[in-house]
Structure 1
């Protein structure tokens, strides 16, 4: 079983467990900040249905994550990403709705806090995904290959042992320090048969340019296959 599978399973179990404890056992202390509220506020929140709403919110998230899991069996490649998007939208959207069940003098602040959190987290995640999914700019200069963008670096031709095209990307074991989303991988990853490697790849693309250097292997894909092939042709000429 993959790490993603166990992550999916853990999230489903955790949200289901918290939903059970809140809705069935009435263990409201598991709700963030509830235990530190004055007893009068706690009673008012319970009367307003706030903790019950949080429990139902967790139950919806757990059920949604579970229902989305079978998509992997259909060959859909973005099941985990879809689950994370569902979780964030339901969680932050639910918190905005639940702010109406706060104690009266805290409702406005709770609503504004929830909206700001939603904008910052979802907006920040969107920007990060956009930057991470952007293909690298590769410049073959007079003495080195320059890869710009996130995790970019300059590789002198003297450090390059070989450059070849691969039809498929070798299996990626785990991320060391990088960005991974859907088929995009940028940064430092452990790759089967190559060890610690630097990746700038869209794994659904073919071919993939593999540059073997004295430091580490580098895998790159362009905007389209023709760009990747042109990099290989020019680079091969320069390192002969």
Structure 2
């Protein structure tokens, strides 16, 4: 139920962003460009004279309509086959598209050697590197390391749980109904960080995949951590933890 809802949520995001891109294409005209067109609105009069709005605006419109349509169609198709790849596409495709736009549209605004185009291109390339790095880090698997004294969740939003602070470990068939991400990373099937449930409870999710059943770690102060591995079966991982830390209460029935 949760995965289906999230799949629909991705479609809503693709639809909303696609409509936004298309709307931007129709919003900017020659008459309002000096107010709405980023970069152009900060130019002085001499710099604006170098920009051929009569050819630039139609290209601007065509680009955004094409971006909106292609973003939805490709995003929808990718999401049908792999939600994780769809998540990466969602974050990276628009940035790459705008890099292409700045390069190809520069012929209408003085070429790539102008200050505005150089700054825009540098910002977009920097954004692409940052977003790609962020996505790659978020998709890296958070593993569980454990011994008789503690359980450690590696990576982003990880942490260490001393065994004396663990109330119990359970196997859960489903997640609680998630209504809000309060502080975390969520793309495709990957969710890491703090999320609020329908009941108002804040839980930590470290989900490297949609693999079920999930492992639920509850601490002595009732903090809850839901975990799902990527490369190893969750139930197999639980058996290894149970052998290493036999004194923790375990609930192995799938609820």
Tell me, in whole angstroms, the C-alpha distance in 2 between the residues paired with 1:115 and 1:44. 18
Please report how far the alpha carbon of residue 135 of structure 1 lies from its aligned counterpart in structure 2 after TM superposition. Answer: 1.8
Are 1:97 and 2:98 an aligned pair? Answer: no
1:82 corresponds to which residue? 89
Report if aligned partners of 2:146, 2:241 keep a CA contact under 8 Å in 1. Answer: no
Aligned partner (choices 175, 184, 195) of residue 189 of structure 1? 195
Please report how far the alpha carbon of residue 136 of structure 1 lies from its aligned counterpart in structure 2 after TM superposition. Answer: 1.9
Range 126-135 or range 79-88, more displaced: 79-88
Please report how far the alpha carbon of residue 115 of structure 1 lies from its aligned counterpart in structure 2 after TM superposition. Answer: 4.1
Are 1:229 and 2:211 an aligned pair? Answer: no
Tell me, in whole angstroms, the C-alpha distance in 2 between the residues paired with 1:33 and 1:206. 49
Structure 1 runs not aligned, ≥5 long: none
Please report how far the alpha carbon of residue 9 of structure 1 lies from its aligned counterpart in structure 2 after TM superposition. Answer: 3.8
Tell me, in whole angstroms, the C-alpha distance in 2 between the residues paired with 1:66 and 1:89. 15
SS in 2 for 1:35: helix
Residue-pair matches, total: 238
1:31 corresponds to which residue? 37
Tell me, in whole angstroms, the C-alpha distance in 1 between the residues paired with 2:91 and 2:137. 18
The TM-score with structure 1 as length reference comes to: 0.80
1:207 corresponds to which residue? 213
The TM-score with structure 2 as length reference comes to: 0.76
Q: Quick one: structure 1 residues 180 and 157, their matched pair in 2 at CA, closer, same or farther if it must change by over 3 Å? A: same
**Pairwise mapping of residues 76-155 of structure 1 onto structure 2 (< 5 A)?**
77-78=83-84, 79=86, 81-103=88-110, 107-155=113-161
Structure 2 runs not aligned, ≥5 long: 250-255
SS in 2 for 1:237: coil
Please report how far the alpha carbon of residue 175 of structure 1 lies from its aligned counterpart in structure 2 after TM superposition. Answer: 1.0
Please report how far the alpha carbon of residue 201 of structure 1 lies from its aligned counterpart in structure 2 after TM superposition. Answer: 1.0
Tell me, in whole angstroms, the C-alpha distance in 1 between the residues paired with 2:82 and 2:143. 29
Report if aligned partners of 2:184, 2:191 keep a CA contact under 8 Å in 1. Answer: yes
Q: Quick one: structure 1 residues 228 and 201, their matched pair in 2 at CA, closer, same or farther if it must change by over 3 Å? A: farther
Q: Which has the higher contact order (CA 8 A, sep 6+)?
A: 2
Report if aligned partners of 2:99, 2:125 keep a CA contact under 8 Å in 1. Answer: no
Tell me, in whole angstroms, the C-alpha distance in 1 between the residues paired with 2:82 and 2:156. 27
